[in-house]
């Protein structure tokens, strides 16, 4: 085994899943704390409706959220449930199927984010 490889303990019965970067338990992971201190967005959440490249179907996009990937996925799930439709989280952008801009802005403001509608 090479000394520079990132192999090692992946699961421990004592602490559960282990982080491959800092080799700590996921609950005590240092990497996530570093990720939370560096915001990914500018603080303003932009909600847009897009139809380009989707066969005429409209999709609501939520950009500019300064959250780590796990929190972003949880917020995406919450927004999709509030709208009653499907969607996904790709590259830090939450996509919700359909035109739900008003519902999403209301849900984000209720959650404490400063959201505004962008685009036409």
User: Are residues 28 and 51 both part of a single domain?
Assistant: no
Overall number of domains in the chain: 2
Q: What are the beta bridge partners of residue 17?
A: 11
Q: Indicate the burial class of 82 (C-beta count within 10 angstroms; 0-12, 13-18, 19 or more).
A: middle
User: Is 97 within the bounds of a domain?
Assistant: yes
Q: What is the CATH number of the domain that holds 108?
A: 3.30.780.10
pTM of the model: 0.64
User: Are residues 15 and 62 both part of a single domain?
Assistant: no
User: Are residues 104 and 56 both part of a single domain?
Assistant: yes
Q: What is the rounded average pLDDT of the residues 28-54? A: 71
User: Is 2 within the bounds of a domain?
Assistant: no
User: Are residues 63 and 78 both part of a single domain?
Assistant: yes
User: Is 50 within the bounds of a domain?
Assistant: yes
Query: 75-96 pLDDT, tens per residue?
Result: 999 999 999 999 999 888 999 9
**What domain range includes position 73?**
45-117
Asked whether the CA dihedral 99, 100, 105, 111 is positive or negative, the reply is negative
User: Is 1 within the bounds of a domain?
Assistant: no
């Amino acid at each position: 085994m090479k000394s520079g490889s990132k192999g090692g303990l992946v699961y421990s019965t004592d602490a559960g899943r282990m982080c491959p970067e800092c080799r700590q338990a996921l609950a005590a992971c240092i990497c996530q704390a570093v990720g939370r201190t560096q915001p990914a967005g500018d603080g303003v959440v932009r909600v847009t409706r897009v139809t380009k490249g989707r066969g005429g179907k409209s999709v609501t996009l939520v950009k500019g959220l300064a959250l780590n990937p796990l929190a972003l996925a949880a917020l995406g799930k919450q927004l999709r449930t509030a709208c009653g439709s499907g969607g996904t989280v790709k590259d830090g952008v939450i996509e919700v199927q359909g035109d739900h801009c008003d519902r999403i802005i209301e849900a984000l403001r209720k959650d404490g984010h400063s959201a505004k509608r962008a685009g036409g």
